[in-house]
Amino acid sequence: MASIPKMLTYQIPEGMSIESGSRVVVPLRQSEKVGVVVSVKEEGDEIPGLKPILRVLDEQPLIPRELLDLLLWTSRYYHAMPGAAISLAFPPYLRQARTPLFPDEVRIFRTGTGKGVIGRKQQDILESVTEQGLSPERFREMFPGGTPSLNALIKRGFLERRPFFPVQRSALATSEVSYTQEQKAAIEEISGALCRRRFNTFLLHGITGSGKTEVYLACAMKALDMGLSVLYLVPEIALTPQTISMIQKRIPCEMAVIHSGLPEAARAREFLKASRSRVSFVLGTRSAIFSPLKNLGLIVVDEEHDHSYKQEEGIPYNARDLSILRAKNNQAVVILGSATPSMDTYVKSTKKATSLLTMSSRTGSASLPEIEIVDMRGVVNPISDQLFEAIRETLSGNEQALLFINRRGFSAALVCPGCGSTIKCIRCDKSLTYHRSKGMGLCHYCGFSTPMPEVCPKCGCLDMRQIGMGTEKILHTVGELFPGARILRMDSDEITTSKKLTQALDAIRNREIDILVGTQMIAKGHDFPHLTLVGVMHAEQLLFMPDFRAGEHTFQQVVQVAGRAGRRAADTKVLIQTLIPDHPLIRSISEYDYEGMISSEREVREATGFPPFTHMARCIFSSTSNELAMKTINEAALRLNSREIRLMGPAPAPISLLRNTYRWHIILTSKDRGKLHAALDRLEGMQTPSGVRVKIDVDPYSML
């Protein structure tokens, strides 16, 4: 599939039948390319000089019209090429002229008709064909040399060969959950909307452990019972084998699982299951929003605040936002679920656009663990006395503790106390993080690594100091403080495959681990029954990022980590170590005061004109020449400038040098979405020098 800036028109040769959503092979310049039919013009609209389509690859369209329209919308909204947007729906395997991929299994079925008298052998054959049909292999086993008799039966209309679509019904169809009042109320509301077959968006704001998953599953069952299909999205980090098997056990039909980590052929197979209507349930991460399900009735977006719904590379789409649009186009229902909803979604729920459903108590007898703030000002040890004592108690009670820190590695940087310089990446303008287990300094932005020097390369000082800390340092400290404890580190250095993740999660569940030290990898979604203590290091770390969502993110992150504790047991604790114990945001976290956090964030964003009170786009200009990047972005700023648009910048991006490339950015906001897009259109029309790369990010998340 070629990414070309515009759509091309070809002639349909006599006798060729073509539908939009199918792939075709067409001539393009000197070669043959695979394309997707976007629209078919009526007869009479003949345009002279068109080249003919060479071949049709799919007799049946691979994607439905509605999805094609969503992709074209995506291309316009995110200012991307239509071909690139359409490619989003097609697994890489199918972007080439490979066909047919997985031929439908053909079986022999009875027709219920047929004329004339049949012999004994034919009678035997006929009787061996059940309602599920008979596969050709099985037939050959049962009736060696029986093919002529079979063919005769087919010819006379007793039997037929046709494709077989397996539908595996698992044993456990109905669940035995007795729902809480809050769950019942939510399920009733959402089911009502499903029955009306009208577009509706629900925000399911339920605290951690309130049983949101049961609500999703009950509504999914309802939709499936109505003959509608269901799209169930989870954040990347949550799509573990455990999640898949939990859902598989509960949904009594075959499903497709779609995520970008699958091998190419497997991805294509899952895609085709949905495309050929073999399944009506798709479970997947971000990219599954483009799965070719027909008859869509329900979209679930679990942990809707999660950033993995936003694609950062390539077309910067947001699967959560697209889920709302796709549901709208299908008169379907969307459930956006979270314990800490994004401000964007929450603000919508205070208006008419989204209905708010709240679940404020945990299932069973457990309640939310109490949060204690530990003032770290003047404390030298990474583990405060309070946290030390709490860990000791937890261990003596044979329970588990989780220590969360938002950085991997040992220390954040090496600084020379003599001249004040830090050891930086040679390709980026960022300090290297010291990774003791590797004995290396690692750039967390580009992956560059180098042995850390013992003397300052600038002034020769012998006393290089480590500042800041990461998972390795906590692991090391805790190991010294609690020599007998079984400690596991979980971060992206340690947990590199999904197999390792599964092993680690199993070890925690089987109580082979006493203390878990990890990054955001362990902050979300997991259910650890024996975890009764959570310690958060440097709760303020995210808060000072150059990002207007920093406060919201900090709240989400810390409350999500806190939510890992005490999902079964009662006596649980969360300790938050911080240098800013009196900051209102830290206070709101300690009281689980989501509304309080939102209302103070809201005030700031409304006053300063940030989303969700304005629409935002970010344009990044990068080049190996700083001069050229700066000159080009300054010209671009003139084009972007217009009334009702606010420009911030041009300025060097917070990561101003990445992999030897200088980065500049402009942030645009406007109350008027149309004006914002018109400005971006003007930018697209600009001729930029070949050494400068321009990236447009609409509704950006990353500000770096």
> By the criterion CB under 6 A, which residues form the site for ligand ADP?
177-180, 183, 206, 208-214, 363-364, 527, 567
Contact predicate 466/436, CB 8 Å: no
Distances (CA, A) of 695 to 82, 138, 496, 622, 623: 16, 57, 30, 8, 12
425 binds, among ligand ADP, Zn ion, none (CB under 5 to 8 A by kind): Zn ion
566 binds, among Zn ion, ligand ADP, none (CB under 5 to 8 A by kind): none
Contact predicate 53/18, CB 8 Å: yes
Q: Which one, 59 or 571, has the nearer CB to ligand ADP?
A: 571
Distance CA 352, CA 347 (A): 10
209 binds, among Zn ion, ligand ADP, none (CB under 5 to 8 A by kind): ligand ADP
Shortest spacing between CB 239 and ligand ADP, in angstroms: 15
Q: Which range binds Zn ion by CB under 5 A, 142-150, 302-310, 425-433, 636-644?
A: 425-433
Residue that the structure tokens 């190991």 belong to: 479
Q: Which one, 276 or 568, has the nearer CB to ligand ADP?
A: 568
303 binds, among Zn ion, ligand ADP, none (CB under 5 to 8 A by kind): none
Q: Which one, 218 or 423, has the nearer CB to Zn ion?
A: 423
Contact predicate 216/283, CB 8 Å: no
Shortest spacing between CB 177 and ligand ADP, in angstroms: 5
Shortest spacing between CB 246 and ligand ADP, in angstroms: 9
Closest C-alpha among 259, 269, 265, 255 to residue 220: 255
Interface with Zn ion includes 427 (CB under 5 A)?
A: yes
448 binds, among ligand ADP, Zn ion, none (CB under 5 to 8 A by kind): Zn ion
Draw the binding track, 428-467, toward Zn ion (x: CB under 5 A; -: no contact). Answer: x--------------x-xx-x-------------------
Q: Which one, 488 or 629, has the nearer CB to Zn ion?
A: 629
User: What φ, ψ does residue 125 adopt, rounded to 5°?
Assistant: -60, -50
Shortest spacing between CB 28 and Zn ion, in angstroms: 38
Q: Is the dihedral of CA 222, 225, 229, 230 positive or negative?
A: positive
Shortest spacing between CB 432 and Zn ion, in angstroms: 8
- The site that binds Zn ion (CB under 5 A) totals a number of residues, namely 7
Q: Which one, 250 or 538, has the nearer CB to ligand ADP?
A: 250
Tokens of residue 192, six digits? 């009502």
Closest C-alpha among 75, 74, 7, 79 to residue 41: 7
Distance CA 681, CA 619 (A): 12
Q: Which one, 143 or 448, has the nearer CB to Zn ion?
A: 448
Tokens of residue 155, six digits? 């010819």
Residue that the structure tokens 């106390």 belong to: 417
Tokens of residue 688, six digits? 């930029």
Which residues make beta-bridge pairs with 55?
A: 25
Distance CA 68, CA 39 (A): 10
Shortest spacing between CB 359 and ligand ADP, in angstroms: 7
What does the buried/exposed string (b/e) look like for 533-542 if buried means 16 or more CB atoms within 10 Å of the residue's CB? Answer: bbbbbbbbbb
What would you measure as the largest C-alpha separation in the chain, in angstroms?
103
Radius of gyration over alpha carbons of the chain, in Å? 29
Q: Which one, 427 or 568, has the nearer CB to Zn ion?
A: 427
Q: Which one, 180 or 557, has the nearer CB to ligand ADP?
A: 180
Closest C-alpha among 361, 2, 430 to residue 209: 361
527 binds, among ligand ADP, Zn ion, none (CB under 5 to 8 A by kind): ligand ADP
Interface with Zn ion includes 657 (CB under 5 A)?
A: no
571: Cα separation from own chain's centroid: 34
Shortest spacing between CB 549 and ligand ADP, in angstroms: 22
**Contacting Zn ion (CB under 5 A), which of 425, 464, 521, 636?**
425
Shortest spacing between CB 301 and ligand ADP, in angstroms: 13
211 binds, among Zn ion, ligand ADP, none (CB under 5 to 8 A by kind): ligand ADP
Residue that the structure tokens 């012998």 belong to: 462
Site residues, Zn ion (CB under 5 A): 425, 427-428, 443, 445-446, 448
